[in-house]
Structure 1
Amino acid sequence: MPFDGTVLHALAHELNEKLAGGRIGKIYQPLPTDLLLQIRSGGRNEKLLLSANLTYPRLYLTQENFQNPMEPPMFTMLLRKYIEGGIIQRIFQVEMERILIIEIQSRDELGDLHLYRLLFELMGRHSNLLFLDGEKEIVMDAIHHVTPSMSRVRTVLPGRIYELPPSQGKKNPLTITREEFLPLFFPWPEDPEKKLVEALQGISPFVGRGIVAKAASFTPEGLWEAFEETRMHLIHHHYKPVIFSIGGKSDFCVLPLLSPDQKREEFDEVSACLDTYYRIKAKEDLSKQMGQELLQVLHQEKKKNEKKLRKLEETLRESLEAEQYRLWGELLTSFQHEVQEGSSQAFLLNYYEEGSPRIEIPLDPHLSATENAQRYFKLYNKAKRSLPMVKEQIEKTKEEIAYLDQVILQVEQADQRNLGEIREELIREGILKGDKKEAKKKNGKEKGTVVKIDRYRSSEGYMIYVGKNNLQNDTLTTRIARDRDTWLHTKQIPGSHVVISGEGFSEKTLHEAAMLAAYFSKGRNSSSVPVDYTLIRHVRKPNGAKPGFVIYDHQKTLYVTPDEEKVRSIPKET
């Protein structure tokens, strides 16, 4: 559900219960939009995260550890100056709006007690975190400055008097009476859920749907009864924080609005629920964002190499025409007396062909016959010299494109850990900017470095290893697998290196390993995917080869159709 006014109401109560009277210790700003307060309260050390991230604005007590910048931002320095060591007086919500205020008493520059406010506006892409002089209501600073050119409605700048966001004219659901509520739904609206959202503060579509679903009848009176039941939970602070799954996606809820059969993980505290949910969400989004960034770079690099290949192939075609230049040069030398001065072409006998037909030879009219001949001999020699180099460059470029196809596939199928290893590889390869020395330390060759590789257990009990990126592929094939182990890979299709550890397995284990190889390949959505298999002693990595590239022989081929259900039925070792 959205981080709406009902969630903030529950959280404000919980935070006030836990943190009021607590002392603020360290203050950090791990990200430009995120603030972390370490608070000593009730004999416990707590960490309060406040994030004005424009995609996922949020706040809660967290157990997560954050990496802080070497140099604290100016916003952090200002807070440290004024409220580090300060005492939290209270934490409260503005009516049922998505605005939370933390009041802090601390010593000012003269040593006198002074009231300050951290004010958090959770408003989607307009979310902000402000630091106010609590006595003068003056903005001392904010995470996001809003200038007059950015908004004609409301500016947020240091030195300005703080103004609440413009009111939307909604009623407070905690104080609305039955007499005020019923007329809102008479006559009965076409969309009562939408009407609830439009009429009441802090009610999101999710909560609106839950209230309508609880109504005994689709009448104003029936809706009031369902609303009153939900409101009592808010007034008396009876919450039921859960993370649940719907449509394959996780979500959270703090009010008892779910049906009993929905899969869920229950929590005793709102913060614990939010901390768990957003930690999962942040990792998912980080993976998605990193994956998209890597794919963009890889596709650009592939496009560049494809353009290079087209140019090289055009050069090759020209080089293969070199014999024609030599012929023209020889004929011009032999029959120069037949070439008229200033001509742009000549028709000369080709004594190399039977019957000596005349052929047309293009000429530069500014050059003599001898000079034209010399020009063609030079073109011939240049083309002849460049031919081996062009062929070599074509092969290297094709290898680069094949490598990029392999990495693109790996990114598309990767989780966060694998994406991190792929990113380091691309830095080492010079495709991404970064510290190559640091990336080389993380390539699995450093002493003590552990490369985690996914392991599956076949129905016969054999261990099957599956590399999910080139670092894992190289480590698996060249360092982990033994000579008598069986190695599998999709035939001429980008995919994972797969190894069956041990001997004596039957066709069943071989087929399960082939299924994994086909599923974790570019042929995942194809049928009858060819999978080569051979003993690991027949697999070699050439010196200087690209990450993940090997050559092999003595292979046999079997064909499998990837099936996600069958892949999921193969137990994965933890």
Structure 2
Amino acid sequence: MAFDGLFTHAMVKELVNTLKTGRVAKIYQPYQGELVLTIRVNRKNKALLLSSHPNYARAQITEQTLTNPSTPSNFVMSLRKHLDGAILKDITQVENDRIINLHFAHRNDIGDEEDLILSVEIMGRRSNIVLHSSTTGKIIDTIKHISSDQNRYRMLVPGAQYLTPPAQDLLNPFVADAEKMMELQNKYPNYEVLAQAIRTTFQGFGKETALELAYEMVNAKDSLKTIQDYLAKFDQPTGFIYDNKAGKLTFAAVKPQLDVNENDVHQYASLSETLDQYYYEKVQRDRVQQRGHVLIRVVRNELKKNRKKLKKLQQTMNQTKLADTYRVKGEILTTYLHQIERGMTEIELPNFYDENKLIKISLSNQLSPSKNAQKYFTKYQKEKNAVKYVSEQIAKTESEINFLDNIETQIDLAKPEDLDDIKLELENEGYLKKQVNPKKRIKPTKSKPERFEASDHTTILVGKNDTQNDRLTMKTAKKDFYWLHAKDIPGSHVIIESNQPSEKTIEEAATIAAYYSKARNSANVAVDYVQVRNIRKPNGSKPGFVIYEGQKTIKVTPSLEAIRPFMI
């Protein structure tokens, strides 16, 4: 189910039950297109996340920790001026559309009370968040400014009159007579055709909600009661995550019945918790892609260049295997020099290294017999000298590929705030040009590793980049703590802060180590574990690179669901 009108209806019910009469305590914009209002209600703070992202537009209460930028945006400054300390009087939905209105009461600079509305329009790429006056209808500010050139129907800029998006000529299913829907059933007995008819007649039905209702209606003895019961479920919201008919992970406010495996449907206590679970990885990946696109491009280009270089080096190395052949031909020519005449282009001579079998040797008709022999000795010496150089270059290139492969994995696993460390590492290794501003000499703060807690409350730390890995393993961890890493593949360093961890704790830490590796989507991932005292870092090695001995290996199958209970 998408965030359709029915889901919006259910979310509004949930937000009203949780946030109504609360006071705005904090306002900030963690990312472009996203807004967080901290609402103080019943002596608790609730974080209300409002998103106008083209793909993830939504409104929900979130338990995720989102960063508050040091420099607020202009939109946040406007909201703080008009909503700081405001009372959330009500939360309403426009018809059964994907528009949520947050109604606030606030006193202005001269002490007069003013009623303001923060409208959240959840409409794909046209999504927006608009603050406007409920009395005059004038727009105070919007998170996205839309001029008349972009939209002829309405402008969304400060000072313009706020207009809701064009109304659809559809019926609100929560207001309309249910018998109108039964008329459609009599006309369209096939549930798939009926679902399409419901969508073109009633407001707020997504494809999957329409199919679910149509399927229940067609198979019910009492269609009227089925319709009423189905719609009533959206007044008592809960949440579900499941794989839909196309095999795509999706969410719903009502438990799905059509073409789903009962064991694949996961229920959550609220819609907000459902969305937190559903969007956790999706949104993080998108934010990392947005903020780290330069790093991603540099790493991918360098990997492509080094892999191409390695291929050429390996071809050169294969050619050096002919060195002994050149030496043999040179010695045979020297032995049978008297049989060679100037002007010959090839000759067959006995090979005394292979039971005197004949060997065909190419000659230059421009060189004397002795010069032809000397040419093969020169080739032999050249190829012999190349072996050492090419071997060194192959080792160096493979080291570069391993380093960049590890960086690529770190970016895949990173949170947006982890990208600064990765950027600094690429600058230090010469892949990115250092940006030095002489006016700003701010000492970078040391980032902290990810913290988990095993089922027996043992702390597990995870390095999210090579800087953290080196610091965590070589400086922070005690020598008798246990270190884990996915075997022979790029991944994070993981530390169990215990000198005698239980087998269960080792298994849990190994699952975390496998998840934070390139094999996160694989099964039966091998993970090495050993005490920190057995870890060494060779002199001059790349950041994050260590060697170890005396390890044991455990196999685990990682997943987000498997490590979620250990997150702090």
**Above 0.5 in TM-score?**
yes
Q: CA deviation at 1:261?
A: 4.9
Alignment correspondent of 2:227: 227
Which digits, 9 at most, give the CA deviation of each residue in 1:62-88, with x for residues without a partner?
444432222221112222333334444
Question: What's the counterpart of residue 100 of structure 1?
Answer: 100
Residue 311 and residue 145 in structure 1: after superposition, are their counterparts in 2 closer, same or farther (change >3 A)?
A: same
1:33 pairs with 2:33: yes
Of 278, 281, 284 in structure 1, the residue corresponding to residue 278 of structure 2 is 281
Aligned residues: 499
Per the TM alignment, residue 210 of structure 1 is displaced from its structure 2 partner at its CA by 3.0
Checking the alignment, whether the CA contact within 8 Å between 2:178 and 2:227 is kept in structure 1 is no
Is residue 96–residue 202 contact of structure 1 (8 Å, CA) maintained in 2? Answer: yes
Equivalent residues of 2:527, 2:554 under 8 A apart = no
The answer (yes or no) to whether the contact 1:57–1:122 under 8 Å persists in 2 is yes
Local SS of the residue matching 1:280: helix
Give the residue type in structure 1 aligned to 2:282. D
Structure 1 gaps of 5+ residues are 268-272, 320-345, 358-384, 444-448, 458-463, 504-512
State the 1:134 CA deviation.
1.9
Amino acid at match of 2:425: R
Match of 1:51 in 2: 51
CA contact (8 A) 2:179 2:224 kept: no
Give the direction of change, closer, same or farther, for the CA distance of 1:126–1:393 in structure 2 (3 Å limit).
same
Matching residue of 1:73: 73
Q: What is the deviation of 1:302?
A: 0.9
The 1:20–1:392 alpha-carbon spacing in structure 2 relative to 1, beyond 3 Å, is closer
Equivalent pair of 2:13/2:237 in contact (CA under 8 Å) = no
Inter-partner Cα distance in structure 2 for 1:519 and 1:43: 38
Paired with 2:223 and 2:368, the residues of 1 have a C-alpha distance of 101
- SS of the residue corresponding to residue 31 of structure 1 reads coil
Rg larger in 1 or in 2? 1
Question: For the Cα contact (< 8 Å) 1:107–1:114, is it kept in 2?
Answer: yes
Q: Equivalent residues in 2 for 1:159-238 (5 A)?
A: 159-188=159-188, 190=190, 191=192, 192-215=194-217, 217-218=218-219, 222-233=222-233, 238=235
RMSD: 6.0
Q: Which moved more, 1:524-533 or 1:304-313?
A: 524-533
Q: Summarize deviations over 1:336-372 as a string: whole Å, max 9, x none.
A: xxxxxxxxxx967686456x99xxxxxxxxxxxxxxx
> Distance in 2 between the 1:519 and 1:28 partners?
32
Aligned counterpart, 2:253: 254
Partners of 1:189 and 1:311 in 2: CA distance: 66
Q: Does 1:299 align with 2:300?
A: yes
Instruction: Compute the displacement of 1:16 (Å).
Output: 4.0
Partners of 1:187 and 1:16 lie apart in 2 by 38
Percent identical among aligned pairs is: 32
Residue by residue, what CA displacement relative to the aligned partner does 1:418-443 show, whole Å, maximum 9, x if unpaired?
x9768735632424688999998648
Query: What is the CA-CA distance between 1:175 and the residue it aligns to?
Result: 1.9
Other-structure match for 1:363: none
| Structure-1 residue corresponding to 2:397 | 397
- For residues 50 and 484 of structure 1, the distance between their equivalents in structure 2, rounded to whole angstroms, comes to 43
Q: CA deviation at 1:28?
A: 2.5
Contact 1:243 1:250 in 2 (8 A): no
CA drift of 1:525 comes to 11
1:546 and 2:542 matched: yes
1:386 offset after TM fit, Å? 12
Once the two structures are superposed, residues 294-319 of structure 1 have per-residue CA deviations (whole angstroms, 9 ceiling, x without a partner) of 65543222113345567889999999
Match of 1:339 in 2: none
1:242 alignment counterpart: 239
Q: Distance in 1 between matches of 2:465 and 2:122?
A: 39
Output one character per residue of 1:389-440: Cα deviation in whole Å (capped at 9) or x when no partner: 887656433321233234446666x5x57x9768735632424688999998
Q: Distance in 2 between matches of 1:527 and 1:79?
A: 48
Aligned equivalents of 1:279, 1:120: Cα separation in 2: 18
Q: Which runs of 5+ in 2 are unaligned?
A: 321-364, 376-384, 501-508
- Which whole-Å CA distance do the structure 1 matches of 2:314 and 2:89 have between them? 74
**For 1:170-190, what per-residue CA distance to the aligned partner results, in whole angstroms no more than 9, with x for missing partners?**
111122124533333342154
Distance 2:90 2:529 in 1: 67
Task: Please list the CA deviations of residues 13-69 of structure 1 after superposition, one character each: whole Å capped at 9, or x if unmatched.
Answer: 444455555444443333332223344456655443322222222223444443222
Please list the CA deviations of residues 448-490 of structure 1 after superposition, one character each: whole Å capped at 9, or x if unmatched.
x767699999xxxxxx999997568757876769699999986
What residue in structure 2 maps to residue 378 of structure 1?
none
